[in-house]
Structure 1
Amino acid sequence: MLFLLFPILGMTQDKSNLSRFHIEPDRDYMALSPYAFEQTIERLQKVLESKNITVFATIEHHKAAEAVGE
């Protein structure tokens, strides 16, 4: 799920202080969160909602893997 959200996460970032990071504004990137996984997802969803960005699907990859026996 996170891999699908990284491009969206990039859209929610304030581009004005990108000079602190080696980030290209129109590229995917990964960021480490100081929060637990579930809390990170909840916080990300709140940010997206506050910016009127619709989350069309949330995929729990571990459940999908369990369904096929992996």
Structure 2
Amino acid sequence: MYSYNDFERLFLRYKLEGIPAGVSIEKFCMSNKVPNNLFFKWYKDTRKKIVPVQVLGAPSPESEMPESPSPIPE
């Protein structure tokens, strides 16, 4: 059984070794004896999540620049 850490290490190795060598992720999984369908499921389940973010130091609405009227020909 493969763990989250196993797939994480495999993905890191792929980014460091496989991508520069031009190897597809399918071939990289096969060469490391990892079923690529399990890797793809892990990737889909862990990498495509939306994460809430809080921005510190964002300008307040009062400090926004006033909108200038757009020149509309009459």
TM-score by length of 2: 0.25
Higher relative contact order (CA 8 A, sep 6+): 1
Structure number with greater Rg is 2
TM-score by length of 1: 0.26
